[in-house]
Amino acid sequence: MKKALILFFLALTSLSCEKKEQVVFENIILSNEDCNECPTISIIFPYALEENKLCSSINTAIKEEIIERLTFDDDLAPDSIEKAMDSFSSGYFDLKKAFPDAEVGWEAKIDGVVSYEDGKYITIQLNTYIFSGGAHGYESTQFLNFDKKNQTEIAPEEFFKDIEDFTSFAEKKFRKQHDIPFDKGINSTGFMFPEDYFVLPENMGFTKEGFQFWYNQYEIASYADGAITLVFSFD
């Protein structure tokens, strides 16, 4: 009986530790729906609640990314998401003032989610849609990766022990996925890699499916092709 109780206690302790490893988030929702004349702005992102270095790193990185996407005037340096929203609106009003007959409405939509978390890493995925005139809007995805032990953000190149070797491995997988002959240039079937050389994307991170490469629109293909992704399963 005593042995059973000890095993039960150890199981509870293990579950408790696993639970504590998970970062606690709440969703922050921001919009300007109470302004009829303003461009449409809708923002949802996870906010880490605990007061420690890791949560501070996560919240700061998310805030900086959202601010960068919303800031319309390069001469301004908003220090909050709310001020960045004002910057986006100001850009719209300046355009309306210059072209009062234009009936094009601007839109900014940012949706952030925790795409992956385990005992070592946590990845935040920010999906953005921005329309500020023209034929169509622009969609992009940004992965923010964090090392839970060091409590810092991870640059993409830090994932690889040998980045040249992994680039070669990734190119083979990319060619196979997109039916690109191995004896032809990487752009031979219509891609637009710089100088016809395969390169890793700027955006990569963990998802439930595995480690994901994400090439945004225009990065290696036309707008019509949309985002190009490549997933390396955990196996």
C-alpha distances (whole Å) from 130 to each of 31, 46, 117 are 14, 20, 28
Q: pLDDT in tens for each of the 235 residues of the chain?
A: 433 333 333 443 333 334 457 899 999 999 988 787 889 999 999 999 999 999 999 999 999 999 999 987 766 778 999 999 999 998 888 888 888 777 678 999 999 999 999 999 999 999 999 998 877 889 999 999 999 999 999 998 899 999 999 999 999 999 999 999 999 999 999 999 999 999 999 999 999 999 999 999 999 999 889 999 999 999 8
Specify the pLDDT at position 7.
39
Structural domains of the chain, ranges and CATH numbers in brackets: 20-154 (3.30.565.40), 155-235 (3.90.640.20)
DSSP string, 59-113: HHHHHHHHHHHH---TT---SSHHHHHHHHHHHHHHHHHH-TT--PPPEEEEEEE
**Residues 132/92, Cβ–Cβ less than 8 Å:** yes
CA dihedral 41, 115, 79, 217 (to 10 degrees): -60
Tokens for 31, please give them.
Answer: 């919009």
Write the pLDDT tens digit of every residue in 30-84. Answer: 998 878 788 999 999 999 999 999 999 999 999 999 999 998 776 677 899 999 9
C-alpha distances (whole Å) from 36 to each of 28, 105, 173 are 22, 11, 49
pTM of the model: 0.85
Upper half-sphere CA count for residue 96 (Cβ side, 13 Å): 13
DSSP string, 161-223: SSHHHHHHHHHHHHHHHTT--TTS-TTTTS---GGG-----SEEEEETTEEEEEEPTTTSS-G
**81-98 and 53-70 helices cross at what angle (nearest 10)?**
0
Q: Rounded distance, CA 104 to CA 95, Å?
A: 10
Q: Rounded distance, CA 59 to CA 47, Å?
A: 6
Q: E strand or H helix at 8, and its extent?
A: helix 2-21
